[in-house]
Amino acid sequence: MTWMTLQTAMADQGYIASGDLAMALHLSLSLGRPLLLEGAAGVGKTEVARVLAAVQDTQLIRLQCYEGLDAAQAIYEWNYQRQLLAIRAASEDGETGKAVEARIFSDEFLLERPLLKAIRQDKAPVLLIDEVDRADEEFEAYLLEILSEFQVTIPEMGTITATTRPMVILTANGTRDLSDALRRRCLYAHVPYPDLETELSILVTRYPDITDRLCAQIVGFVQALRKQELEKKPGIAEMLDFAAALMGLGVADLTDDPVVLQATLTTLLKTHVDRDAIPTEIAQRLAGKAA
């Protein structure tokens, strides 16, 4: 699959990828290297992994990162409750020592978390490590062994090497700087907000029945809104929700009803500060320019 056929296949799944992003994905697949996607929240980074899994007809395994995430939650942990029951049963049967230890530290009692699960699949999955910059810096050390060797060391079982190498997508929103060591192990692509033409294509792909006029107004309005001083700029998902709301209400023109326009901003602006920053007058002015 070339980068152009990959781009087309992603479009067939409803994702309009830029040439740069399609090339980065193609190189990631062909070189077997993880791909780090950086960009603002809402630009479609997470969706890349979902669409790639659909294009490759494989499983998507997701690790959602957060502050305090550790190896037990990301890689593996032991089923302690079952182990205790097994130890009790073994004791009643007269079993002791290494035989019991070997049994309770086996696959039967191992709980796979996303990172371990991803390297033990018969068919290479897409592994999404989402918002990696939300995890603590210490957690990156856990990732390095997997991203460099695609293996996990479990003290009680030894080293588990990947059955197949997963296709790895990492996303980051700029919450903190990532380490150089992690960046060196990845290819890189920046995912910006889509330009006007791309966002029009995204909207038409999702809602093919939308009129040309309303489509142009929605995209123009949302792009103008992103240029305002907002805490959280609306992303692609918010733009699509806005379009769905307007179409569901039977709105044919964005400038027809200021009350409806202001009310539907609930799909775009997600904090009270941002809602207060865009009163009816400003919303109408932006809609008028978009028209």
- Which of 275, 210, 205, 265 is CA-nearest to residue 238? 265
Sorting pLDDT into bands at 50, 70 and 90, what band is 95?
A: low
| pLDDT value of position 97 | 66
| pLDDT value of position 96 | 67
Judgement on whether residues 240 and 169 belong to the same structural domain of the protein:
no
Answer yes or no: are the C-beta atoms of 136 and 67 closer than 8 Å: yes
Judgement on whether residues 268 and 183 belong to the same structural domain of the protein:
no
Answer yes or no: are the C-beta atoms of 155 and 78 closer than 8 Å: no
pLDDT at residue 244 is higher than 70? yes
Judgement on whether residues 104 and 70 belong to the same structural domain of the protein:
no
Judgement on whether residues 229 and 285 belong to the same structural domain of the protein:
yes
| pLDDT value of position 291 | 67
pTM (two decimals): 0.87
Residue 130 tokens, joined = 């989402």
Number of structural domains (the chain) is: 3
d(CA 81, CA 141): 29
Which range of residues forms the domain containing residue 105? 78-110
Judgement on whether residues 95 and 135 belong to the same structural domain of the protein:
no
120-162 tens-digit pLDDT:
999 999 999 999 999 988 888 888 878 888 888 888 888 888 8
- Which of 146, 141, 138 is CA-nearest to residue 114? 146
d(CA 149, CA 166): 12
Give 38 or 160, the one with higher predicted confidence: 38
Judgement on whether residues 105 and 56 belong to the same structural domain of the protein:
no
pLDDT at residue 21 is higher than 80? yes
**Count of C-beta atoms within a 10 Å radius of residue 159:** 10
| pLDDT value of position 47 | 95
Judgement on whether residues 14 and 49 belong to the same structural domain of the protein:
yes
Mean pLDDT over the full length of the chain = 92
Judgement on whether residues 216 and 186 belong to the same structural domain of the protein:
no
Judgement on whether residues 214 and 130 belong to the same structural domain of the protein:
no
Q: State mean pLDDT over 222-234.
A: 95
Judged by average pLDDT, the poorest of 18-32, 56-70, 150-164 is 150-164
d(CA 145, CA 284): 54
111-126 tens-digit pLDDT:
999 999 999 999 999 9
Judgement on whether residues 58 and 129 belong to the same structural domain of the protein:
yes
Residue listed under structure tokens 């990696």 = 132
Judgement on whether residues 152 and 19 belong to the same structural domain of the protein:
yes
| pLDDT value of position 108 | 86
Sorting pLDDT into bands at 50, 70 and 90, what band is 105?
A: confident
